[in-house]
Structure 1
Amino acid sequence: MQLSVIILTYNESLNLPKCLASLKSLDAEIFVVDSGSSDETVEIANKANCHVSYHPFENQAKQLNWALQNLPIKTPWIMRIDADECVTPELATELKQVLPKTSTQITGYQVKRRVFFMGRWIRHGGYYPTWLLRVWRNGLGTCEQLWMDEHIVLSEGETAKLKHDIIDENQKGLSFWTDKHNRYSERELKQLLTQEITLQQDTLLETDANSQAKQRRWVKKNLYGRSPLFLRAFIYFLLRYLIGLGFLDGMEGLIFHFLQGFWYRFLVDAKIYEMERNQKVSIILPKLS
């Protein structure tokens, strides 16, 4: 057995069966870390003979690092996959063929994520391919301690790219999607405050790897992050939808690119504006009294 798979769950009964079905041909050990689901998530995982653990949730990074530090994983390779993702049959075959033959200098593999929204593959707007480090050698990968946009960082070695994809297709509907992104906006705000207060270093930007994730992080911090609030959300959406050909993704693409590329970013800026406004008010009021 070459591979163990880690899945973090919370009320994922709609997504988990498809995810687990896609992993069957991998012959991998599957570890599910649940954070207190009230639906049938744990029962589904147990029926599929997964190793199920409970750990209270704080954020994705801490949950994943807890799993890496505490689960009895003995295989040479580890893979992280979300409950609303699945492995294509081609990727499963590729992993079984590639991992046993990987040279020692390769310690991690990047995988393409193919996002589906309302049943449609989002292929444009710079959204595909999105390369993510999802497979790494046991003991050499940790998750960045971030509230948002966290990635696996390797302590040594080089990365390579796999040919085939992970499918991301959440089955919970648009209301769940918008609620989730509202929660994401709170995490973005927490991350911003954490970086300002602690002068937190960016582990991903300090690595030698020239990955897509590193390039996007640099753009987000040095270009997008220094642009005016609200205006940057408009510009980003226009770049994705027009220059990046997002309009070719049809009506579903319009909804996705507008909500994810504009509404979500605008919401984050609105919460930043609210926070800064409240800080100014708290400074002025004592002077008036």
Structure 2
Amino acid sequence: MTAPSTTAIILSFNEEVHIRRCLERIAPLVKRTIVVDSFSTDRTVEIARELGAEVHQHAFTNQAAQLQWALDTIPIASDWIIRIDCDEYLEPGLIDEIKAKLPVLPADVTALDVKLKVLFKGKFIRWGGYYRTWLTRLWRPDAGRMEQRWMDERLLITRGRAERLTGGDLVDASLKDIGWWTDKHNGYATRQMIDFIAREHGLIGEEADGELTASARKRRGLRKLYGGAPLYLRAVLYYLRRYFLLGGFLDGRLGFVWHFLHGFWFFVLMDAKIDEARTWIAANSIEDFPRYLAERYGIAETGIAWRR
């Protein structure tokens, strides 16, 4: 039996600290590696090419648009695609399981979910309910497309079904400092705000072409429940549940930093940006929301079409 071929798609921007680890650890699994770079100014592209990756450069709007651009633009003839971020890697047990399973999967299994393990400053974040996240990261090329959201995009399965892989985890292990982390999450909060406001006012509709996996549907349902709660109060309640009821305090000193920043500060910041945007829209108009984004955040009207 011929082993199925796999192509990795990796998005990058100034990731010289991570790109070597990412490429070297995914190499035993994939036949082809595609790096879609957003015009890095460090050695990311140089290192990627040194390690044999195929590099394409494209202006960045958000992850969903960038990934779909890659799927629409770059011919991929492999049997499977795996998406992985520069600061992520697969545990050896997961790689072994993928190699063993791909040749024997039935034809109706068109996507595979992996479990996310976060290492914050080297500390495994086991508690707080966070080590329950399943992500669809492998799929057959003709069976999936990216959901077009500004944040927390998921793969939409256009046919077949997904199965879970349990032999190891997808590890998120950033090597950058806390200043970079807060800057990144400040940007994430902006994108969460855009998605929230756009959907609140019908500027972006729900997509019908494909469906989320069961894991993603469950997580999206919880997010919708959270999204319907009052601003700020929901951040407080979420943090209290995560840190105390779900045992986040058991993650120790670094766990406290993680849960406070990721589970409280980030959500309060997101709500503050939503609050600010709502105030601006009330004084102006929702039709001018794209202008607000351009003036306040430097985000041009590209990537996802607004409904006018």
Structure 1 length-normalised TM: 0.93
1:264 aligned counterpart, secondary structure? helix
Q: Which residue of 1 aligns with 2:293?
A: none
Q: CA deviation at 1:209?
A: 3.8
1:219 aligns with 2:201: no
1:169 aligns with 2:199: no
1:4 aligned counterpart, secondary structure? strand
2:47 aligned counterpart, secondary structure? helix
Equivalent AA in structure 1 for residue 259 of structure 2: H
1:46-77 C-alpha deviation (Å, 9 max, x unpaired): 01101111111111001000111111211110
Matches for 1:32-71 after TM superposition, within 5 Å: 32-71=35-74
Q: May I ask how many residue pairs the two structures share in their alignment?
A: 281
1:122 aligns with 2:125: yes
Contact 1:151 1:204 in 2 (8 A): no
1:188-242 C-alpha deviation (Å, 9 max, x unpaired): 111122213335343499837422x211211211x21121111111100000001
1:261 aligns with 2:247: no
Match of 2:247 among 230, 233, 245: 245
How far apart, CA to CA, are the structure 2 residues paired with 1:282 and 1:59? 26
2:33 aligned counterpart, secondary structure? strand
Aligned-residue sequence identity (percent) comes to: 43
2:28 aligned counterpart, secondary structure? helix
Q: CA deviation at 1:277?
A: 2.7
Matches for 1:111-150 after TM superposition, within 5 Å: 111-150=114-153
1:171 aligned counterpart, secondary structure? coil
Q: Which residue of 2 aligns with 1:151?
A: 154
How far apart, CA to CA, are the structure 2 residues paired with 1:206 and 1:142? 8
How far apart, CA to CA, are the structure 2 residues paired with 1:128 and 1:268? 22
Contact 1:15 1:171 in 2 (8 A): yes
1:139 aligned counterpart, secondary structure? helix
1:19-47 C-alpha deviation (Å, 9 max, x unpaired): 11111221421100101000000011101
1:26 aligned counterpart, secondary structure? coil
How far apart, CA to CA, are the structure 2 residues paired with 1:167 and 1:89? 11
1:82 aligned counterpart, secondary structure? coil
Gaps of 5+ in 1: 284-289
How far apart, CA to CA, are the structure 1 residues paired with 2:6 and 2:279? 50
Equivalent AA in structure 2 for residue 143 of structure 1: M
What RMSD, in angstroms, separates the aligned Cα atoms of the two structures? 1.8
How far apart, CA to CA, are the structure 1 residues paired with 2:11 and 2:114? 18
Q: Which residue of 2 aligns with 1:286?
A: none
Q: CA deviation at 1:78?
A: 0.4
Contact 1:140 1:156 in 2 (8 A): yes
How far apart, CA to CA, are the structure 1 residues paired with 2:144 and 2:116? 19
Contact 2:8 2:33 in 1 (8 A): yes
How far apart, CA to CA, are the structure 1 residues paired with 2:100 and 2:133? 23
How far apart, CA to CA, are the structure 2 residues paired with 1:202 and 1:220? 15
Contact 2:11 2:37 in 1 (8 A): yes
Decide whether aligned partners of structure 1 residues 204 and 80 sit closer, same or farther in structure 2, where only a CA change above 3 A counts. Answer: farther
Equivalent AA in structure 2 for residue 38 of structure 1: T
Matches for 1:2-13 after TM superposition, within 5 Å: 2-13=5-16
Decide whether aligned partners of structure 1 residues 146 and 208 sit closer, same or farther in structure 2, where only a CA change above 3 A counts. Answer: closer
Equivalent AA in structure 1 for residue 231 of structure 2: L
1:58-114 C-alpha deviation (Å, 9 max, x unpaired): 110010001111112111100000000011111111111111111001000000111
How far apart, CA to CA, are the structure 1 residues paired with 2:118 and 2:214? 23
Contact 1:148 1:191 in 2 (8 A): yes
How far apart, CA to CA, are the structure 1 residues paired with 2:58 and 2:213? 32
Decide whether aligned partners of structure 1 residues 204 and 25 sit closer, same or farther in structure 2, where only a CA change above 3 A counts. Answer: farther
Matches for 1:179-258 after TM superposition, within 5 Å: 179-198=183-202, 200-203=204-207, 207=211, 209-211=213-215, 213-221=216-224, 223-258=225-260
